[in-house]
Structure 1
Amino acid sequence: MNHADDGSTPRDIMLDHRCGGRRLQSHADLWPTPLAGVDPSKAFGGVWSDVLDQASRVLPVRVEEAEAVGEDSPLQSVLPRIAAARRAAARSHLGAAATPLGYGETLSARR
């Protein structure tokens, strides 16, 4: 993609200037929390790596449940995103953890 450096932003790029923790919270509120039943404000003392670790344990069970009744679950596609977010959060890179959750948000919306 070519874009002249004239101080403008291309139409297909969105900039999010919130800190990593706020972006992570926003994405978590939209899909891992409701799908996995993990609430970071009430569980694990808000330690994101622990929250995402729990989500990575619960979501495969949801995939198996869908497969057992013959459904094709888009959650299969989000499992690697949760794993990537969990690894980044374990290293205290909350901004890096928010990115795969953003992608996973799009995929989980197809459920």
Structure 2
Amino acid sequence: MAQYMLSVHGNVDEIAADTRTMEELQPVFEAVERFNSRLREEGAWVFAGGLQEITTATTVDNTGDAPIVTDGPFAESKEHLGGFWVIEAADLDVALQWAKEGSQACQGKVEVRPFQVEPDA
């Protein structure tokens, strides 16, 4: 089976302007946990995680003469990665179906990308 990354992206401005209370967010958390449980039950679960706010990012660039470490994200963008699932699926169609369910659960856009296949040694 192939592995796919289902990444959840959010608009930074919308996230910053989100004034929902924890009580209002609780149904989203519960929907995501139900989705996670289904992934586990179906044997598709590999790993998942939510990320801290983009303001916590640190970028490391060691492509020159000396490493450079800077606060903040690598790319200046209106959208940033907020979390992800790594799943196993028979094919892209199955991964897309999982992404549809994940998008509904987390109330966000989900990008689907296959992992590279490692060549046999």
Larger Rg: 2
Structure 1 or 2: more strand by fraction: 2
Structure 1 or 2: more helix by fraction: 1
Larger RCO (CA within 8 A; separation ≥ 6): 2
Same fold, TM exceeding 0.5? no
Q: Which TM-score applies when normalising by structure 1?
A: 0.31
Q: Which TM-score applies when normalising by structure 2?
A: 0.29
